[in-house]
């Protein structure tokens, strides 16, 4: 008789019981655990070297973005990462992102169509369907196209492209060396983690991102090399820029119990927002699909929208990391944050839906932080709630990304690592969890998986016993 309280999905995972011995036996777990495979050490050494390379590539990418930005908006030859907001182009600024989109469209048509989009879904697809084999040309096509798109005003951060580039470098290394499919997947994830860590000085969240979105497992054979790569990438960042937080802000106080409840409820709101933003983005992508012109022209059309929004609100142009700092530091008023959230959302969703090359992390953090800041300012009018607008902005950042991507632990830990606010950990975890619950109830796929799910790729969501334990001789098991 089928238990109506247990779904087929439940029966696919390891059952929990007051005593786990029967469950572990059914899952063929060994009675004596083996020693760590020496292959893990070998792959770990490769991951350290990969982390060094990806850390340097991350710096080169930011320099290239700075060079394109300064040439396009300030007509100067400099690789310093500056904001396009201080330009003196007037209405001509509308054309600049369109030119960048035209170049990216041409690179996608005659180089590789895989450069379109934010990179992580494409890496997931290669892991799930192509034995983690990413074409070698992606190691330069993705960063160059992204630098052009972002440098000409595209509303994306540098982290998405460098995650994709790091993954491509790891995959290339795995294709050039005699390694197994699992080890190649590990190197791909290690490169991606090193890239994220090198951009944000966030090694723990980089490892969690790899686990939640790329590895689809939590085993020593993959976890250890990925962690070594993330540490190495962060070390490169420290050597170049120092160990300070990427998004500095005033110190936050411990959270009152009533405020914790409010922040958890704010996570519910951000979860709904994450679902709506995901649907908006793919709805815009569907609208572009219906246009009677070749897809290579779409990024240029999206660029016109980016330029028009940037003409009205220049702060939406480019990476916009300074926007995040201003929001969480309380340097923006209520109206300014509301306008930033709306304008950035319009600019980013149209640009991403048009198929240009760029990421999702920084734009979602900007929109989420601004929305959270708005809610925080409004709620702080009721003193008994003890709501801090700075904390609410952090909650918005993390919870919106958690709702859109369902990378729960990545979202919470990332905001902590990039701001170094220990009192934020508890409300971050509460809000990201409630955002995840809402997202899971409202949509089947996430902003990371919807694209490849439409191509028929099945994306696993939970970790279960893979029954490799009882099969001897498996490399890296």
Q: What is the pLDDT of residue 469?
A: 41
Report the C-alpha dihedral over residues 344, 62, 357, 82, rounded to 10 degrees.
40
The predicted model gives 258-285 an average pLDDT of 95
Close Cβ partners of 22 (under 8 Å, ≥ 6 residues apart): none
- Is the pLDDT reported for residue 61 higher than 70? yes
Residues 477, 475: Cα–Cα separation, whole Å: 6
**Least confident segment among 44-48, 183-187, 454-458:** 454-458
The helix, strand and coil proportions of the chain, stated in percent and rounded to the nearest 5, come to: 70, 0, 30
- Is the pLDDT reported for residue 423 higher than 90? yes
Query: Is-contact 379 334, C-beta < 8 A?
Result: no
The predicted model gives 4-14 an average pLDDT of 45
CA proximity to 135, closest of 117, 108, 114, 166: 114
Q: What is the pLDDT of residue 299?
A: 93
Report the C-alpha dihedral over residues 227, 400, 374, 265, rounded to 10 degrees.
-100
Most confident residue range from 136-140, 163-167, 323-327: 323-327
**Please, what sign has the CA dihedral across residues 325, 313, 148, 76?**
negative
Alpha helix segments (H runs only) across 294-360: 298-312, 321-328, 334-353
Q: What is the pLDDT of residue 242?
A: 87
Q: How confident is the model at residue 29 (pLDDT cuts 50, 70, 90)?
A: low
- Is the pLDDT reported for residue 272 higher than 60? yes
**Please, what sign has the CA dihedral across residues 353, 99, 68, 75?**
negative
Q: What is the pLDDT of residue 215?
A: 84
Report the C-alpha dihedral over residues 228, 230, 235, 236, rounded to 10 degrees.
120
- Is the pLDDT reported for residue 447 higher than 90? no
Most confident residue range from 96-105, 136-145, 209-218: 96-105
The predicted model gives 39-48 an average pLDDT of 94
- Would you state the structure tokens that stand for residue 242, as one six-digit string? 């120092």
Q: How confident is the model at residue 11 (pLDDT cuts 50, 70, 90)?
A: very low
Q: What is the pLDDT of residue 451?
A: 78
Q: What is the pLDDT of residue 7?
A: 46
CA proximity to 204, closest of 224, 181, 230: 230
For tokens 């001897």, what's the residue?
Answer: 472
The fraction of the chain above a pLDDT of 70, given in percent, is: 89
Residues 344, 366: Cα–Cα separation, whole Å: 8
Query: Is-contact 145 108, C-beta < 8 A?
Result: yes
**Least confident segment among 21-35, 74-88, 183-197, 450-464:** 21-35
- Is the pLDDT reported for residue 142 higher than 90? no
The fraction of the chain above a pLDDT of 90, given in percent, is: 61
- Is the pLDDT reported for residue 468 higher than 50? no
Q: What is the pLDDT of residue 418?
A: 94
CA proximity to 230, closest of 413, 474, 476, 368: 413
- Is the pLDDT reported for residue 128 higher than 50? yes
- Is the pLDDT reported for residue 475 higher than 50? no
Q: What is the pLDDT of residue 38?
A: 86
Mean pLDDT value across the chain: 87
- Is the pLDDT reported for residue 12 higher than 70? no
Buried/exposed 420-442: b ≥16 CB within 10 Å, e otherwise: bbeebeebbbbbbbbbbbbbeee
Q: How confident is the model at residue 477 (pLDDT cuts 50, 70, 90)?
A: very low
**Least confident segment among 115-119, 270-274, 299-303, 419-423:** 115-119
Neighbours of 453 (CB within 10 A): 16
Q: What is the pLDDT of residue 25?
A: 64
Residues 411, 427: Cα–Cα separation, whole Å: 12
Q: What is the pLDDT of residue 389?
A: 95
> 79 or 226, which is more confident?
226
CA proximity to 185, closest of 143, 137, 226, 139: 226
**Least confident segment among 124-138, 152-166, 202-216:** 124-138
- Is the pLDDT reported for residue 473 higher than 50? no
């Amino acid at each position: 008789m089928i238990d109506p309280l247990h779904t087929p999905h439940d029966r696919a995972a390891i059952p929990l019981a007051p005593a786990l011995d029967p469950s572990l036996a059914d899952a063929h777990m060994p009675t004596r655990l083996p020693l760590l495979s020496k292959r893990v050490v070998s792959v770990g050494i490769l991951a350290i070297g990969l982390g060094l390379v990806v850390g340097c590539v991350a710096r080169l990418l930011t320099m290239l973005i700075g060079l394109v930005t300064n040439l396009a908006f300030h007509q100067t030859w400099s690789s310093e990462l500056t904001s396009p907001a201080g330009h003196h182009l007037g209405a001509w600024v509308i054309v600049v992102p369109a030119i960048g989109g035209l170049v990216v469209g041409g690179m996608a048509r005659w180089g590789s169509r895989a450069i379109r989009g934010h990179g992580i879904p494409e890496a997931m697809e290669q892991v799930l369907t192509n034995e983690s084999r990413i074409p070698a040309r992606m190691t330069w096509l993705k960063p160059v196209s992204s630098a052009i798109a972002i440098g000409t005003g595209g509303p994306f951060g540098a982290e998405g492209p460098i995650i994709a580039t790091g993954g491509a470098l790891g995959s290339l290394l795995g294709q050039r060396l005699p390694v197994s499919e699992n080890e190649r997947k590990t190197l791909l994830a290690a490169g991606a983690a090193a890239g994220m860590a090198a951009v944000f000085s966030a090694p723990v969240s980089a490892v969690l991102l790899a686990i939640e979105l790329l590895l689809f497992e939590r085993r020593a054979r993959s976890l250890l090399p990925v962690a070594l790569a993330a540490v190495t990438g962060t070390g490169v960042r420290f050597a170049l820029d120092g160990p300070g937080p990427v998004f500095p802000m005033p110190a936050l106080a411990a959270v009152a119990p009533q405020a914790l409840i409010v922040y958890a409820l704010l996570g519910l709101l951000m979860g709904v927002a994450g679902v709506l933003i995901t649907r908006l983005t793919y709805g815009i992508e569907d609208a572009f699909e219906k246009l009677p012109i070749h897809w290579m022209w779409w990024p240029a059309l999206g660029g016109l929208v980016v330029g028009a929004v940037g003409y009205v609100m220049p702060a939406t142009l480019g990476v916009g990391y300074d926007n995040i700092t201003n929001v969480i530091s309380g340097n923006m008023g209520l109206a300014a944050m509301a306008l930033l959230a709306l304008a950035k959302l319009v600019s980013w969703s149209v640009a991403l839906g048009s198929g240009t090359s760029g990421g999702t992390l920084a734009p979602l953090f900007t929109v989420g932080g601004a929305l959270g800041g708005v809610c925080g300012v409004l709620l702080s009018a009721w003193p008994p709630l003890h709501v801090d607008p700075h904390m609410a902005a952090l909650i918005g950042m993390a919870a919106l990304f958690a709702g859109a991507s369902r990378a729960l632990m990545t979202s919470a830990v990332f905001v902590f690592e990039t701001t170094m606010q220990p009192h934020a950990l508890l409300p971050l975890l509460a809000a990201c969890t409630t955002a995840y619950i809402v997202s899971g109830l409202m949509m089947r796929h996430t902003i990371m998986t919807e694209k490849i799910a439409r191509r028929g790729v099945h994306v696993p969501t939970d970790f279960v016993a893979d029954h490799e334990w009882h099969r001897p001789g498996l490399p890296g098991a």
